[in-house]
Structure 1
Amino acid sequence: MSPVRMPPIRIEARHEAWPLREAFVISRGAKTAADVVVVEITDGTHKGRGEAVPYGRYGETVDGVLDAIRTAAGRISTHADLPRELKPGAALNALDCAFWDLESKQTGIPVSKRAALPEPAPKVTAFTLSLAAPEEMAAKAASVAPLSLLKLKLGGDGDDARMRAVRQARPDAHLVADANEAWTAETLTPLLAIAAECGIELIEQPLPASQDSILRDTPHLVPICADESVHTADDIPHLIGLYDAVNVKLDKAGGLTGASSLVAEARRNGLKIMIGSMVGTSLAVAPAMLLAPCADWIDLDGPLLLARDREHGLRIDNGIVQPPSPELWG
Structure 2
Amino acid sequence: MSASLSRRDLLAVSGSLAASALLPSIASAAPANVAAAKGVTLDLKPMLLKLRHTWTIARSSSDEKKNGLLTLASGGITGYGETAANKRYGQSWESGEAAFAKVKAACAGLSPWEHLAWLERAEEAAGGDSQVVAALDMALWDWKGKAVGQPVWKLLGIPTGRMAQTTFSIGIDTPEVMKEKVKEAEPYPLLKVKVGLPGDETNVAAIRSVTQKPIRVDANEGWATAEEALAKIAWLKTMGIEFVEQPLPVAKNAEMKAVKAASVLPLVADESVLHVKDVPSLVGLFDGVNAKLAKCGGITRAYELAALGRALGFKLMLGCMIESSLGIAAAVAVAPLYDWLDLDGNLLVANDPWKGLVLKDGRWDLPSGPGLGVVPV
TM-score surpassing 0.5?
yes
1:224-303 aligned within 5 A: 224-303=267-346
- CA positional deviation for 1:22: 1.5
Structure-2 residue corresponding to 1:201? 242
What CA deviation, in whole Å up to 9, does each residue of 1:95-146 have, x standing for no partner?
A: 0110011111112233223223223765421111010123332332234233
How many residues are paired up?
329
Structure-1 residue corresponding to 2:216? 176
Structure-1 residue corresponding to 2:6? none
Structure-1 residue corresponding to 2:18? none
1:157 correspondence with 2:188: no
CA distance in 1, matches of 2:79, 2:184: 38
Among residues 62, 67, 80, which one is paired with 1:49 in the alignment?
80
8 Å CA contact retained: 1:17, 1:36: yes
8 Å CA contact retained: 2:141, 2:371: no
Secondary structure, counterpart of 1:314 in structure 2: coil
1:95 correspondence with 2:149: no
8 Å CA contact retained: 1:13, 1:70: no
8 Å CA contact retained: 2:134, 2:293: yes
Against the structure 1 CA distance between its residues 109 and 320, is the aligned structure 2 distance closer, same or farther, given a 3 Å change threshold?
A: closer
CA distance in 1, matches of 2:61, 2:146: 37
Letter of the 2:151 partner, please give it: P
8 Å CA contact retained: 1:18, 1:33: yes
- CA positional deviation for 1:209: 0.4
Against the structure 1 CA distance between its residues 143 and 91, is the aligned structure 2 distance closer, same or farther, given a 3 Å change threshold?
A: closer
CA distance in 2, matches of 1:63, 1:17: 13
Residue identity (%): 33
Secondary structure, counterpart of 2:79 in structure 1: strand
What CA deviation, in whole Å up to 9, does each residue of 1:57-114 have, x standing for no partner?
A: 1111111112211222133113222223325610100001100111111122332232
Structure-1 residue corresponding to 2:66? 35
CA distance in 2, matches of 1:17, 1:326: 26
CA distance in 1, matches of 2:93, 2:235: 38
CA distance in 1, matches of 2:38, 2:161: 29
8 Å CA contact retained: 1:123, 1:322: no
Secondary structure, counterpart of 1:169 in structure 2: coil
1:115 correspondence with 2:156: yes
Secondary structure, counterpart of 2:205 in structure 1: helix
8 Å CA contact retained: 1:134, 1:165: yes
8 Å CA contact retained: 1:312, 1:327: no
8 Å CA contact retained: 2:150, 2:371: no
Q: Which runs of 5+ in 1 are unaligned?
A: none
Against the structure 1 CA distance between its residues 146 and 215, is the aligned structure 2 distance closer, same or farther, given a 3 Å change threshold?
A: same
Against the structure 1 CA distance between its residues 68 and 300, is the aligned structure 2 distance closer, same or farther, given a 3 Å change threshold?
A: same
- CA positional deviation for 1:327: 6.4
Deviates more, 1:38-47 or 1:113-122: 113-122
CA distance in 2, matches of 1:135, 1:212: 36
Against the structure 1 CA distance between its residues 264 and 323, is the aligned structure 2 distance closer, same or farther, given a 3 Å change threshold?
A: same
Against the structure 1 CA distance between its residues 325 and 26, is the aligned structure 2 distance closer, same or farther, given a 3 Å change threshold?
A: farther
Secondary structure, counterpart of 1:326 in structure 2: coil
Among residues 83, 97, 120, which one is paired with 1:66 in the alignment?
97
Structure-2 residue corresponding to 1:125? 166
Against the structure 1 CA distance between its residues 324 and 52, is the aligned structure 2 distance closer, same or farther, given a 3 Å change threshold?
A: farther
Among residues 206, 211, 219, which one is paired with 2:252 in the alignment?
211
- CA positional deviation for 1:15: 1.1
Letter of the 2:86 partner, please give it: Y
Among residues 123, 137, 147, which one is paired with 1:86 in the alignment?
123
- RMSD in angstroms over aligned alpha carbons? 1.8
Q: Which runs of 5+ in 2 are unaligned?
A: 1-23, 31-35
CA distance in 2, matches of 1:327, 1:104: 5
Deviates more, 1:289-298 or 1:262-271: 289-298
Secondary structure, counterpart of 2:186 in structure 1: coil
8 Å CA contact retained: 2:164, 2:339: no
8 Å CA contact retained: 1:36, 1:51: yes
Structure-2 residue corresponding to 1:14? 45
Letter of the 1:269 partner, please give it: L
